[in-house]
Structure 1
Amino acid sequence: MQISAPLTRIIGIANIVVVTVAVIGLSLLPGEKRPHAEARAMVKVQGSVEPPSPSPAGEPPGVVATPDFARQVHANEAGLVPVLMYHRILAKRLASIDRTPDQLRKELEALAKQGYVPITAREFAAGDIRVPAGKFPVVLTFDDGHPSHFALDASGNPKPDTAVGIIQEVARKYPSFRPVATFWINREPFGLVDQDAQAAAVKWLVDHGYEVANHTWRHPNLRALGKKKVREQIVRIERLLKKLGAPPSTTMALPYGSIPRPKKLARTGSWDGTRYDFAGVFLAGAEPSLSPYAKKFDRGAIQRIQSNGKKGECRKWCSQYWLEWLNKHPGERYVSDGDPERISIPEKLRGNIVAKRGLQVIAY
């Protein structure tokens, strides 16, 4: 996106505002290289934007993108992607960063109606964006592993007004809305203390395509810690995730969006014999993220957007504002060509992307 100079200067201030709001909200809490998946059979589509026969669950219909096809669907895989940031989902909001079940449901349904398809942070950071042609990726992220994010009822199904329950509900109502999200957890995922219960929760999520990954052990401000303490906070969660049966994290979210010193500590390092190496580190956010193919995409500081309405500090920096902005500026938004093996862009944007992923670039 070509952001105006005044907006660029304000972004830094906006990040600080978002972090400050997060600190206030979290203070109310009780107590405490896989660029692409395996190749799949693809059907070449010529002269039509209608998808071919259905693909396996979670996969878009297979196509081989061509310049003509990319032009028909207005593909722009150098465009902006909304990475939405959620915290607690509460019937009664206690902090400005909280959302109610109805607010979450309404936002997700709006995304589904507008043509957005969820992918995980892991998939986004890897550039493994498998979204049907003409549709838009969106990344749903939930910080802190709060009990309101995930819990099972007596029948073994997600409770209705939890984040996962709502995502599954919206996906049933809108079949094109893929039911996946990323949950970045701390030391007591989803408020569970018993390790067997933690493992059961993680297993359910991973088995259903959700990502469970690293948000540090105690949610500290990493910028205020020494190097060894930063590495310890990250590694301890990696060890917990391994015990619980989750795959190694390829993404992490910075508590409060606070970047440690030096910055590279957030992406790669080791402590007590255990290494970590993330494909993407996510901020607290203030704007949509650049495409992972963009030359200026920074894997160590990926932008997110706080989910919220257009009030107070969110008049220009939260989800309602930015989703409306993207709808009004469709040429700035990431639009999929439906082909994960190719990057399709308008000719004028050819110089904005990195083509070092072994993928064919189609410029039309």
Structure 2
Amino acid sequence: MALGLTLPGERQREPGSREAAHAGAVRDAAPPAARSDPRAPARAGAASPAPSAPPSPSVPATLPPAPPAAAAAKANELGRVPVLMYHRILPKPQLSLDRSTKELRDELTRLAKGGYVPITAAEFVGGRFDVPAGRHPVVLTFDDSTPGHFGLDAQGNVKPDTAVAIIQEVARAHPGFRPVATFYANKDLFGLGDQAAAGLAWLTSRGFEIANHTVDHSDLSRLDRAAVQKEIGGMEDRLRAVTGRNTATFAYPFGSVPRKRDWARRQDGRYDFQGMFLAGWQPSPSPFDSGFDRFAIARVRSEGKIKENDCQRFCSVAWLDHLDKNPQERYTSDGDPNAITIPRSAEERLAKDFRARARVW
């Protein structure tokens, strides 16, 4: 199925719109393995360890046994992690990548009931996150910082039916569903105007991550080095001016990587990302997997099993169904953020930098 092909019943894209271009570009961002074998682990680029991997003075030849509770939970911290990708959240979707408030609420409720616990993109990349035993991390990412993601009313309360309000609503209804997400921002920060500083302070004080998505949502694959760094560095300058801090992670607009990846990864004195995220198609490997590349992390588009963009196989509902039916493939926590528990059969996939923290069952 060709990605971006208009089919009967598809939500219509506005020609030339950001969303239309973004939908088409997901095809180019799809790892070749996803096209030929949709259930194969992502192997995008050269493997890189997560930044929090501690230097180990000695690598144990034999991994110690996991505690009985971790084994009873069938902990598998080399399992795959859904990094879900959302765009506009509206009462009624208008374009291909839009999700309705009901669709978002229903998907988050499904995640909560299914034992998923949200973590931020920065926490995922860092490889240290506190998820209870037997539960599964999920990363909620929202691109383009649109008003449907977040806003504050005149009293300083979050606006109802925004993504943040819905996340908090689901968390209240399902204790243990942590109300956090990562927002990949462009220059128009949620339409907040002169309230941007107050709004971003509200978000970060509650554990939400604000991250870089370029100034103008430009296709970086078409730009030279100076233009790439202007787009990324300009957004970093704006976010640092508003929040007082640098961002930790970056998401490529359209999933498009520049001719040289290092142009986007760092610029001395301006930005130096710990992790970088692509567009859709499949869950990410664990940050402890030898095949994990923190500078090319796959995401999954939030969508039902529709024909458009091959969502019958590659979007969120299809992947969550697959992981429900194949629980041995997904990341299941041991409940100890300082340890890494894995089935003995998966030991060969463990990145060597993490062997000092690992244990098997």
Q: TM-score range by the shorter chain?
A: 0.7 to 0.9
CA shift at 1:264, angstroms?
A: 2.3
Three-state SS of the structure 2 residue aligned to 1:190 is coil
Deviations 1:225-256 (A, max 9, x none): 00111111111111111111253111000000
Determine helix, strand or coil for the equivalent of 1:85: strand
1:157 aligns with 2:157: yes
Q: Percent identity at matched positions?
A: 48
Q: Which amino acid aligns with 1:69?
A: A
Aligned twin of 2:132: 132
Give secondary structure in 2 for the equivalent of 1:189: coil
- Deviation of residue 66 (structure 1)? 3.3
Answer yes or no: is the 8 Å Cα contact 1:14–1:286 preserved in 2. no
1:175 maps to amino acid: P
Q: Which residue of 2 aligns with 1:275?
A: 270
| Aligned equivalent of 1:56 | none
Q: Cα distance 1:25–1:102, how it changes in 2: closer, same or farther (>3 A)?
A: farther
Is 1:35 the equivalent of 2:56? no
* SS of the residue 1:191 aligns to: coil
Deviation (angstroms), 1:27: 4.8
CA contact (8 A) 1:289 1:302 kept: yes
1:319 is matched with which residue?
316
How many aligned positions are there? 315
- Determine the C-alpha separation between the residues in 2 that align with 1:152 and 1:247: 22
> What pairs up with 1:51-200 in 2 under 5 angstroms?
66-194=66-194, 197-200=195-198
CA distance in 2, matches of 1:246, 1:171: 28
**1:52 paired residue number:** none
Distance 1:214 1:104, change over 3 A: same
- Could you tell me which amino acid in structure 2 is paired with residue 287 of structure 1? Q
> Cα RMSD over matched residues?
2.5
Cα distance change on mapping 1:27 and 1:105 into 2, 3 Å: closer
Partner of 2:286: 291
C-alpha change, 1:134 and 1:246, in structure 2 (3 Å) is farther
Give secondary structure in 2 for the equivalent of 1:260.
coil
| 1:109-134 deviation digits (Å, cap 9, x = unpaired) | 01000000000000001112210011
> Using the alignment, how far apart are the partners of 2:14 and 2:164 within structure 1?
22
| 1:339 paired residue among 323, 336, 340 | 336
Which amino acid is 1:317 matched to? F
Unaligned runs of 5+ in 2: 7-12, 22-49, 54-64
Counterparts of 1:89 and 1:26, CA distance in 2: 15
Among 184, 201, 204, the residue aligned to 2:202: 204
Q: Distance in 2 between matches of 1:250 and 1:22?
A: 32
More displaced, 69-78 or 246-255?
Answer: 246-255
Distance 2:287 2:353 in 1: 12
Q: Is the 8 A contact 2:19 2:97 kept in 1?
A: no
1:155 Cα deviation after fit: 2.6
Supply the distance in 1 between the matched residues of 2:328 and 2:147 (Cα, whole angstroms).
Answer: 39
Which residue of structure 1 aligns with residue 302 of structure 2?
A: 307
Q: Which residue of 1 aligns with 2:18?
A: 26
Structure-2 change in CA distance of 1:227 and 1:99 (3 Å) = same
Deviations along 1:57-91, whole A, 9 cap, x unmatched? xxxxxxxx934222100000000000000000011
Match of 1:329 in 2: 326
In 1, the alpha carbon distance for the partners of 2:349 and 2:357 equals 15
- Whichever residue aligns with residue 251 of structure 2, its letter is A
Structure 2: which amino acid aligns with 1:129?
Answer: F
How far did residue 104 of structure 1 move?
A: 0.2
The alpha carbon displacement at 1:266 in A equals 2.2
Q: Is the 8 A contact 1:309 1:320 kept in 2?
A: yes
The one-letter code matched in structure 1 to 2:256 is S
SS in 2 for 1:71: helix
Contact 2:20/2:96 (8 A) holds in 1: no
| Partner-residue secondary structure (3-state), 1:362 | strand
Distance 1:161 1:335, change over 3 A: same
Distance 1:75 1:121 in 2: 21
Tell me, yes or no, if the aligned pair for 1:22 and 1:97 is still in contact at 8 Å. no
- In structure 1, the gaps of 5 or more residues are 1-9, 37-64
SS at match of 2:270: strand
Distance 1:24 1:260, change over 3 A: same
* Distance in 2 between residues matched to 1:235 and 1:227, nearest whole Å: 11
Q: Is 1:217 paired with 2:215?
A: yes
Return the letter of the residue paired with 1:282: F
Write the letter of the residue equivalent to 2:338. E
Map 1:344-355 onto structure 2 (within 5 A).
Answer: 344-355=341-352
* Equivalent residue for 1:242, pick from 236, 240, 255: 240
Give the TM-score normalised by the residue count of structure 2: 0.82
* Corresponding letter in the other structure for 1:303: A
Q: Deviations over 1:163-218 (max 9, x none)?
A: 00000101111111000000010111102332xx1101110000000000100111
Deviation at 1:22? Answer: 11
**Which residue pairs with 1:232 in the alignment?**
230
CA contact (8 A) 1:189 1:198 kept: yes
Question: TM-score when scaled to structure 1?
Answer: 0.81
Distance 1:214 1:250 in 2: 8
- Kindly provide the CA deviation profile for residues 96-117 of structure 1, in whole angstroms up to 9, marking residues without a partner as x: 2100101000000010000000
